[in-house]
Structure 1
Amino acid sequence: MASRDGVLATLDSSKMQWYHYKAVIISGMGFFTDAYDLFCVLPPATAAAINGVALCGTLLGQLFFGLLGDRMGRKKVYGITLFLMALSFFHRIRPILRQLPQIWFRIGGDYPLSATIMAEYANKKTRGSFIAAVFAMQGYGILGGGLVGMAVSAVFRSLHHAPPYSVNPVGSTPPEADYVWRIILMLGALLVVLSYYWRTKLPETASKSKFVLFLKEFLRRHGLHLIGTASTWFFVDVAYYSQNLFQKEIFSAVGWLPPAETMSALDELFKISFAQFLMALCGTVPGYWATVLVIDRIGRFTIQIMAFFFITVFMLALAIPYHHWTLNKTEFLIMYGLTFFFANFGPNSTTFIVPAEIFPARLRSTCHGISAAAGKAGETVGALGFLYAAQNQDKSKTDAGYPAGIGIKNSLFILSGINVLGLWCTFFVPEAKGRSLEEMSRDDEEEEQDHQSPSGVESV
């Protein structure tokens, strides 16, 4: 016990060193490729299949590997997830089936394990920034998906001797288009394979090896905390991923993108990739790194409350005068980009960070997995709900000739209410700024009780 306490005290008092940055890069590599896979531009049928598998498979993976991370140790399970994912690339089976183990094992395992490992490596003064930096790699994955989409489509466009911005009124789809999305998806796998070796070199964290299922004492101390982390993650993902996965419909509804039938498949790929890249560059990535810079100064609770409030304000500002934005597309994109900025400088980041800090060591990975799975359920609700609303928008036209988009307008009102619920549930979550993991989880109190009682505490 003294040895473990000494290790934890050393970690809490240590200054930033190279191994901290190395852990951020290695852990963040998975989130880079996760975002790249989920947000790169693919044909509608392929995108729907991959997103469906991702949402269902990841939820199960978060629960399973979160539990396993507490039972077997973080490092061992971290390596298992990546090894099993790598095997999926060598099976000669249908592409959509090959995506199931890839997304389940990699994304599902990455969430609880990456957050827990980074939390247990870092000291209490910079812990939030380092966990946020791991998660911020998602922003670069979105940027990477947009860049690769633009580059590959431009190359294939040049083969047809057509300028990259040309409009094809016939809406043709060249035979090479099928290769384009496969190349885009395949490139995302390369970094995953390279990161396997690096992950196997990470040392095991100084966690307790004893595994105990939920106790009455745990529920008394942390029951509301778990409800808070799970519910806030659920609500933010309903709003965030419904926006992110279906940016194309929103851009088209306000007339920033021309109708799909007026473009060839390669034209459409280039323009959608550019729109997503621009939104990530101006809104998503700055929001992630604003969290990294200030989270250990102003705290998790303050950032989350502030961001939920501003997201609600900006969504209402988009929804109430909705038809105004169809005539002012640049202003719309600025307002829309601000919702992404505050989602990432706020609950999309903090909901990932906090569950790795406030729960006991022997249940830390499990509780993070439960919270993340609740978020994945929110993604499913948001994606399906927003897709339904976007497909059922009013077909009438505005004065500018663009779709009125009644479905999207109502969606913005609904998402505003969802953000209010997320703000309210934030009050169930304690602040972890500047506090050690043992202080937040109250592990020290539990150890004292174990020493005072010869029989210890019986698990439920």
Structure 2
Amino acid sequence: MSNYIQHQQVHSAVIGQIPVPHGPETGAETETYPMGPEGLYTEEQEREIFKYITHPDDSFDDNGTYWADLPLTKRVAFVNKVNNAEALSELKATWALFKRDPLGPVSWYFRNAVLPGAGLGLEGYVLFSIGNLSPLFAAAWPECWGKTATVCSANWIAAVTYLEVIGIMIGQVSVGIIGDWIGRRWGLIQDALIMFVGLIMITASWGLTLQGWVICYAWSLFFYSYGVGGEYPMTATSSMESAVGAGKLSTRDDRLHRGRKVTMAFLMQGWGQLLNQGLLIVLLLIFHHGDGDPPYSLPTVQWTFRLSFAFPAVGTLWLVYYRTYKMPNASRQLQIAKKRGNVTGYDVGSLNTIFKHFGGRILATSGTWFCNDVFFYGNKLFQSQFIAVISDNPHSVMVTWVWNICNCIVSLAGYYLACFLIDHKLYGRKMMMQVGFLMCFVFFVVPAFHYKYYTSANGVHAFQAMYFLSSFFNQFGPNSVTFLVAGEVFPTPVRATAHGLSACIGKSGALLASVLYNYIDTQTKFYVVPWFGLAGMVLTFVFLPDTTGLDLKEQERRWSYIKDGRDSEYHGIAVHPTHLSLWERICGSGKYYNPELDSKAKIADMRADWEARESLKREAEVTGSKEAEELAAHDDAGLSDDAHRFFMHTSPNSPFMQSLNGPNGTKANGVLEDMVLPPGGNEKEGAASSSS
């Protein structure tokens, strides 16, 4: 609190004594604001200068009321007005881009969705190919992959899935720590390298015996899965921080489209599944001479499965190049956060603090992810039994794959709808997650208790519809939201660690499903699975905060207060009841919300940030430090000229303010009479202001 009081005292001491540069409202170029009873810099003028930051028009109405504080009817009208204006603006920008270059929108999508999500696309391609290939292996090597295997150990066949999941879990935690310790960029490069080598290992896997090949195949998959696990925290954090991150001022794009940006990268997982299934169908038709029905020759199976892994190896090698040479600033926001906290290496203090203050959030992100993965991976694991029920020719691998590609298309529709609504303030993350869990619960619990009817000729089409709809709502719900919020609700210094930990605990749900489903029949699976959907919905309702429309900058502000032991002094929208979980509201976090106090404190915080940037600039000038210069320039984005001048005139540590004081702390004679605008331009140039 001392810094805030000091800044306010200094500001009060100089307010009314300093000429204010002309703002955009008056219409004259060199005119100053008229002298008022409190001086030239009145509180009203101060509010106007910083209004675009403290009260942005996409979150506050004309009266300065936050959208979540508006009555319901006004809230709906305000949100729809902002969304409609933003949609129109984006349509105009897209049309202008199309007129300049018809392939411009495609190029934009490639840069903003395909490239950030390329790693997850490869993850979806390879990992789900394991389940897709299982029926082909069973048809080619029934003595090993069949239900009554005589050559291979049943434990090693099961270990293929187990090692896959365990490799992902280890990668999620360890690479999450590496990403917060060494940097996002190194984590991204490392993941791509590991996945490339892993794909080479899978493609070339061999053994002197069939059992030996299975062992080699399983361990190769484990190695590859380690890199895949690292993609979860690295892709989520880098996609989130590349848009705004911790150091920049609040931005409209962050508030309105952060969720969409991350989800567009995540949905590449769905495209990976679809491309894998499509390529397997094409390869099988090529090497099986246009026929998809059994029996399948061993050369057909060998060429099909090995080429299906060789093709993504080429894409992964390109990904290594891109991340090494085209993503130099991937760790920039983490560097800024560490610079501010005077931290080198891993921020252990921040990790301890999130467990103390955000324990409920960790329970929410990890618990809901666990429940979702029982659904998501369980769905994939007993997909073949489902298809056997609805198919006229369940023994044909091709028939199984065609039904699976239909399921992939339905899932993709869910991914894309999640992109459209995940940032909508009237629906958003938390509601999407709860509805998704609820629908998955319903679509599994109904057939569980009427299994015989839904697997009969009369009910099979309804069964089919429920199964596909469960895939749709899984993507348009918990699968997309868990990936986003697991990094979004935690601070920058430990964001990758928290995301990786949540994902690891979540993946243990997939491990549970893969083990459990080996010992229970299909109907029992339907009895077990629905309750995880219900549990996920309850965990979401009680422990998950809703960050829809909340600027990441505000979360970082609150985090700085928590780190300084001043949590009760933060009064901003990050503790607005709308953005807190039920558990946090019960614990009293929302009682500190106070818009009036926060508006003043936010300006004081911005002044402190401005002073830190000026210090970095002076350091760069004195030492020639390129890093300090880049950090200062990057962290400076978004501050208007008026705001710069305000801080130049009122900050106690600025050279301008220090020039007002004599050696004994008294004001130097004649300074006020000779006071001019900040250095760097003539009176006319300095008087003209610009807004951000």
- With structure 2 as the length reference, what TM-score do the two structures score? 0.55
What amino acid does structure 1 have at the position aligned with 2:391?
W
Task: Provide the rounded CA distance (Å) in 2 between the counterparts of 1:191 and 1:56.
Answer: 25
2:234 aligned with 1:113, yes or no?
Answer: yes
8 Å CA contact 2:259, 2:484 repeated in 1: yes
Give 1:146's aligned residue.
277
Task: Provide the rounded CA distance (Å) in 1 between the counterparts of 2:351 and 2:171.
Answer: 23
Structure richer in helix, relative to its length:
1
Alignment of 1:36-435 (within 5 A): 36-40=125-129, 41-42=132-133, 43-44=137-138, 45=145, 48=158, 50-88=160-198, 94=206, 95-96=216-217, 97-105=219-227, 107-122=228-243, 123-158=254-289, 164=291, 166=293, 171=295, 173-200=297-324, 201-202=326-327, 203-204=329-330, 205-207=332-334, 208-209=337-338, 210=343, 211-213=346-348, 217-252=353-388, 254-256=389-391, 258-260=393-395, 268-281=396-409, 283-297=410-424, 298-326=427-455, 327=457, 328-389=459-520, 407-426=521-540, 427-435=542-550
TM-superposed CA distance for 1:124, in Å, is: 2.5
User: Per the alignment, do residues 381 and 129 of structure 1 end up closer, same or farther by CA in structure 2, a change over 3 Å counting?
Assistant: same
Alignment of 1:2-41 (within 5 A): 22-40=111-129, 41=132
TM-superposed CA distance for 1:147, in Å, is: 0.7
What amino acid does structure 1 have at the position aligned with 2:383?
Q
Q: RMSD of aligned C-alpha atoms? A: 2.7
8 Å CA contact 2:237, 2:496 repeated in 1: yes
TM-superposed CA distance for 1:215, in Å, is: 5.4
Task: Provide the rounded CA distance (Å) in 1 between the counterparts of 2:482 and 2:232.
Answer: 11
8 Å CA contact 1:357, 1:440 repeated in 2: no
Question: Per-residue CA shift, 1:310-333, capped at 9, x if unaligned?
Answer: 111111222222222221433322
Give the number of the structure with larger relative contact order, counting CA–CA contacts within 8 Å between residues 6 or more apart.
1
Task: Provide the rounded CA distance (Å) in 1 between the counterparts of 2:370 and 2:482.
Answer: 9
Q: What is the SS of the residue equivalent to 1:433?
A: coil
**Structure with larger Rg:** 2
Task: Provide the rounded CA distance (Å) in 1 between the counterparts of 2:377 and 2:313.
Answer: 22
What amino acid does structure 2 have at the position aligned with 1:351?
T
Q: Using the TM superposition, name which of 14-23 and 124-133 deviates more.
A: 14-23
User: Per the alignment, do residues 239 and 271 of structure 1 end up closer, same or farther by CA in structure 2, a change over 3 Å counting?
Assistant: same
Question: Per-residue CA shift, 1:119-174, capped at 9, x if unaligned?
Answer: 1123222111111111111111111121111111111221xxxx6355x5xx5645
What amino acid does structure 2 have at the position aligned with 1:269?
V
Task: Provide the rounded CA distance (Å) in 2 between the counterparts of 1:38 and 1:93.
Answer: 16
Question: Per-residue CA shift, 1:317-365, capped at 9, x if unaligned?
Answer: 2222222222143332211000000000000111100011111111100
User: Per the alignment, do residues 93 and 312 of structure 1 end up closer, same or farther by CA in structure 2, a change over 3 Å counting?
Assistant: closer
8 Å CA contact 1:149, 1:269 repeated in 2: no
Question: Per-residue CA shift, 1:165-224, capped at 9, x if unaligned?
Answer: 55x5xx564543232222222223222222222222122241223332255542232111
User: Per the alignment, do residues 130 and 318 of structure 1 end up closer, same or farther by CA in structure 2, a change over 3 Å counting?
Assistant: same
Q: Which structure 2 residue ranges, 5 or more long, are not aligned?
A: 1-52, 59-85, 94-106, 139-144, 146-155, 207-215, 244-253, 570-692
What amino acid does structure 2 have at the position aligned with 1:121?
S
What amino acid does structure 2 have at the position aligned with 1:184?
S
TM-superposed CA distance for 1:240, in Å, is: 1.4
8 Å CA contact 1:124, 1:434 repeated in 2: yes
TM-superposed CA distance for 1:88, in Å, is: 4.0
Task: Provide the rounded CA distance (Å) in 2 between the counterparts of 1:362 and 1:108.
Answer: 20
Give 1:6's aligned residue.
none
Give 1:443's aligned residue.
559
Q: What is the SS of the residue equivalent to 2:489?
A: coil
Q: Using the TM superposition, name which of 359-368 and 14-23 deviates more.
A: 14-23
Identity of aligned residues (%): 25
Q: Using the TM superposition, name which of 177-186 and 331-340 deviates more.
A: 177-186
What amino acid does structure 2 have at the position aligned with 1:98?
S
User: Per the alignment, do residues 182 and 431 of structure 1 end up closer, same or farther by CA in structure 2, a change over 3 Å counting?
Assistant: same
Give 1:397's aligned residue.
none
TM-superposed CA distance for 1:84, in Å, is: 3.2
User: Per the alignment, do residues 79 and 165 of structure 1 end up closer, same or farther by CA in structure 2, a change over 3 Å counting?
Assistant: closer
Task: Provide the rounded CA distance (Å) in 2 between the counterparts of 1:255 and 1:337.
Answer: 12
User: Per the alignment, do residues 237 and 448 of structure 1 end up closer, same or farther by CA in structure 2, a change over 3 Å counting?
Assistant: same
User: Per the alignment, do residues 215 and 142 of structure 1 end up closer, same or farther by CA in structure 2, a change over 3 Å counting?
Assistant: closer
Task: Provide the rounded CA distance (Å) in 2 between the counterparts of 1:77 and 1:134.
Answer: 17
TM-superposed CA distance for 1:19, in Å, is: 7.8
